């Protein structure tokens, strides 16, 4: 019995120690609450990210990065910035996000009361932005809006019925759907929370989150095949996304003032960049944004030109795969902020 108690005490002590270490150096989540309009959001508090890049950030009472939002001033030009984890950007510090850098550049250059609000949220898609347009209008009162898009918005997220906000097609058009009883975007966490809702506090522990993520990665790892014939996978034809992209762009333009679309391509600079051609989603966005006469920024040329000049990639971090297809790093944020500042100065603030 003494041996069992000593073993249990040792394991408990190790878990407590790892929790302290991980929550201060690798990952710390403030937890989640269910907001009556925004759905499942981060609790207000401090979060730490150290698995890809590093940051220690403050989350406000709307689950957004930064302090609580103050009442709008009379002479203020307020910019709402919507996007997914690329915009939330927990991989970089507060003063390195494209949202902050845009605000800084316009303030310094034009001496305006110009403020950006970073409303990026993990796993978000255009379904969120469309469904929540009225809420953002009443709560934030933006004069302009930037919406960041990536390929996964259309290939994985917007039509995914497992998401709290998603889009369905009805009667030759699309409409947004909000799932009230929602637990998590992660299938493993969702299954656990549905079966054991009173144990929801456990998923906030860093030890369990890191362990769960590693387990998920291990399960998703592709097996190696000695026989080349076994590794052959029949490729399915690529779906036609034009219809949902066209509807998305038109609806966003209708719902948000002075809209700018910021598209962030996925570029692996350490692969054969001669094969790094625009994806089907990217080509569709280029075409349909022009058709709908939208303020549209595609960062492909900026990212590639910078790499060809300085041999530094806009994606990836030293503690992951440098130059790989991860989130944008400080360079990516800086380049995006410059393009946004140009379009605001030339087309919107004028």
* 124 three-class SS: coil
Residue 61, in any domain of the structure: no
Give the residue from 176, 137, 183, 173 showing the smallest Cα distance to 158: 176
CATH code of the domain containing 186: 3.40.50.1110
Residue 81, in any domain of the structure: yes
Q: What would the pLDDT profile of 186-212 be if each residue is shown by its tens digit? A: 555 556 655 666 555 555 665 556 666
Sign for the pseudo-dihedral over CA of 232, 237, 242, 248: negative
Residue 56, in any domain of the structure: no
Strand residues in 190-265 grouped as ranges (E)? 259-263
Q: What would the pLDDT profile of 136-176 be if each residue is shown by its tens digit? A: 999 999 999 999 999 999 999 999 998 999 999 998 899 99
Residue 37, in any domain of the structure: no
23: phi then psi, degrees, rounded to nearest 5 = -70, -15
pLDDT at position 231: 46
Strand residues in 201-343 grouped as ranges (E)? 259-263, 295-298
Residue 8, in any domain of the structure: no
* Average pLDDT for the chain: 86
Q: What would the pLDDT profile of 213-253 be if each residue is shown by its tens digit? A: 666 666 655 554 555 554 455 555 567 899 999 999 999 99
Sign for the pseudo-dihedral over CA of 291, 174, 178, 158: negative
The whole-model pTM stands at 0.85
Residue 84, in any domain of the structure: yes
């Amino acid at each position: 019995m003494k041996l069992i108690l000593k073993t249990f005490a040792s394991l408990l002590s190790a878990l407590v120690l790892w929790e302290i270490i991980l929550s201060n150096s690798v990952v710390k989540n403030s937890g989640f609450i269910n907001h009556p309009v925004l759905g499942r959001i981060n609790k207000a508090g401090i979060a730490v990210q150290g698995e890809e890049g590093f940051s220690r950030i403050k989350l406000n009472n709307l689950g957004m990065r930064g302090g609580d939002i103050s009442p709008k001033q009379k002479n203020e030009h307020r910019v709402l910035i919507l996007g997914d984890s690329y915009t939330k950007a927990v991989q970089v510090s507060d003063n390195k996000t494209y949202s902050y850098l845009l605000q800084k550049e316009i303030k310094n250059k034009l001496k305006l009361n110009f403020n950006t609000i970073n409303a990026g949220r993990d796993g978000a898609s255009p379904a969120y932005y469309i469904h929540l347009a009225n809420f953002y209008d009443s709560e934030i009162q933006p004069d302009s809006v930037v919406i960041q898009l990536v390929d996964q918005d259309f290939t994985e997220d917007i039509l995914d019925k497992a998401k709290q906000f998603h889009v369905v097609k009805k009667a030759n058009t699309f409409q947004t759907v909000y799932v009230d009883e929602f637990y998590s975007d992660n299938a493993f966490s969702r299954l656990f929370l549905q079966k054991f809702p009173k144990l929801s506090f456990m998923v906030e522990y860093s030890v369990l989150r890191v362990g769960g993520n590693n387990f998920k990665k291990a399960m998703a790892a592709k097996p190696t095949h000695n026989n080349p014939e076994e590794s052959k996978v029949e490729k399915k034809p690529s779906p036609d996304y034009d219809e949902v992209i066209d509807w998305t762009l038109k609806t966003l333009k209708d719902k948000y003032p002075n809209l700018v679309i910021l598209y962030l391509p996925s570029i692996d600079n350490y692969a054969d960049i001669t094969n790094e051609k625009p994806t089907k989603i990217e080509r569709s966005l280029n075409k349909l944004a022009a058709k709908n006469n939208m303020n549209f920024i595609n960062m492909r040329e900026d990212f590639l030109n910078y790499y060809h000049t300085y041999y530094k990639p806009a994606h990836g971090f030293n503690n992951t795969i440098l130059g790989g297809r991860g989130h944008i790093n400080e360079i990516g944020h800086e380049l995006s902020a410059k393009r946004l500042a140009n379009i605001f100065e030339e087309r919107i603030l004028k």
